[in-house]
Chain A
């Protein structure tokens, strides 16, 4: 069993009127099964309202299942006695960088978690030093969080989680409110923690460029997992992704369009280099013979002919 596992997970948001009668039930997660391997980097995609954030909050025991079970490191999140241990092992980073920093000085904020779990003072300092170093924020340790950029604030938030020595970090759209440079900064930090420290990462995002380095991509829709595979596998299904209100990186889309136009391009191209190599190969393939009609909508016609 992996580090995080959910079985037949269901979660309902229940709205009650003044007399505590149920007014409305909104099923955010609908019978979801997932198993996340220790040390892996998993990206979760899905449009707003697809249930991603609700899932994320289950891993930290902020929400507990309406039905089904979630285990973190073999601990059932519904078990009240394990709640603090679960939260220590599965740290969480949220979307709005301002609303998760508690300390008035960077280093004090990083120390907040360890203080809460009763780590001795000397050890807190050691952890704070290490965590700030791991996210590259040591130079800012005496600064006020209000003076930092969005990307830096998120790195402080990540350091705050790292100081709890977690096995897993769940990031709920950590880059949604950042500019492109801030986004790169955060993604680089998270990838490094995953590779160097072996931290399991679950990252929710709307930005497709951010998931191409993940080990595994999960797409959610209406509270269920609808796609699950490597980035390459997922991004070779461009139309399906668009059907879930998602997008693909421009190189992926361009390769897909060329393929539809009859060009000999492989599926699921994710990077600039891969695109250039594939295109050059396709070009020399053409030069060597193998001619067919190439038009932007050749693919549509071929598809029509197949039907």
Chain B
């Protein structure tokens, strides 16, 4: 079940989006998120949906992969939708006990759902078309100015990149340890909250130990390959803007403009 988390997973095909500079994609994702909160009517969301559809098409990643990322936020989605649905003042449609459902609530809940779904799908497009390394490269370079105020940008980017690489490995490991303890009669499902928390100890201790062992091994392997921080390091894939990136920035500008216009429709 935990295997299905797709956020942060790269889908290896060749497309315009894959070849785009990660900074362009990062900025684009930010623009998109901002636009989702700017838009406040059906027209705005229609434009956002159109852009998303075009981008997904361009990415050549199957839509099913984007949708799968939504599972991870299902709970969050449910909560925010119900909050908006029940706690918005306005013209009442019906009432269940102290919960009132209003037209405004339905509208807000629908917009909230659309926002969240688009937000996750939009960011999935970025993570699915950008290798975590490119992504961290992009972040490192975009935030490079922070180095001047002694923020360890390179180190943070490296940590992120490594974390992303080890997530699937640790997920698999969790699955294995869980099964191994179940073979020793462990029960991870029944019992109350305290019982459940206690039953996690035989899972968490081995997992931590394994994570530490991997970390030590990896640190040694990195050192053996002459890693010594960001200083004097060159890049195999240095970031360079190409024409498609300038085009993308132009598209962002136009898109934001259109979104703002829809507010006056």
| In the complex, chain A residues whose CB is within 8 Å of the CB of B224 | 60, 62, 87, 91-92, 94
B162, chain A: closest CB distance, angstroms: 7
Chain A contacts to B: CB under 8 angstroms: 57, 60, 62, 84, 87-88, 91-92, 94, 96, 98-105, 107-108, 111-121, 124-125, 128, 142-146, 160-161, 164
Chain B contacts to A: CB under 8 angstroms: 10, 12, 131-133, 161-162, 164-165, 168-169, 213-214, 217-218, 220-228, 232-238
- Quick check: B236 and A99 within 8 Å, CB to CB? no
- A163 nearest in chain B by CB position: B225
- Quick check: A102 and B226 within 8 Å, CB to CB? no
| In the complex, chain B residues whose CB is within 8 Å of the CB of A142 | 12
- Quick check: A102 and B222 within 8 Å, CB to CB? yes
Starting from the known contacts A115-B235, A146-B169, 5 additional A-B residue pairs (CB-CB under 8 Å) come to A98-B214, A103-B133, A104-B10, A108-B237, A121-B235
Q: Tell me the dominant secondary structure on chain B's binding face.
A: helix
A161 to B225: give the CA distance in the assembly, Å: 7
A132, chain B: closest CB distance, angstroms: 13
A83 to B234: give the CA distance in the assembly, Å: 19
- Quick check: B164 and A117 within 8 Å, CB to CB? no
B157, chain A: closest CB distance, angstroms: 13
Contact of B226 among A100, A105, A164 (CB under 8 A): A164
A115 to B233: give the CA distance in the assembly, Å: 5
Contact of B234 among A62, A115, A144 (CB under 8 A): A115
| In the complex, chain B residues whose CB is within 8 Å of the CB of A57 | 220
- A84 nearest in chain B by CB position: B226
Contact of B217 among A60, A99, A108, A128 (CB under 8 A): A99
The 9 A-B residue pairs with the shortest CB-CB distance in the complex, in nearest-first order = A111-B236, A99-B217, A100-B221, A116-B226, A92-B224, A113-B225, A124-B236, A104-B132, A118-B232
A102 to B232: give the CA distance in the assembly, Å: 19
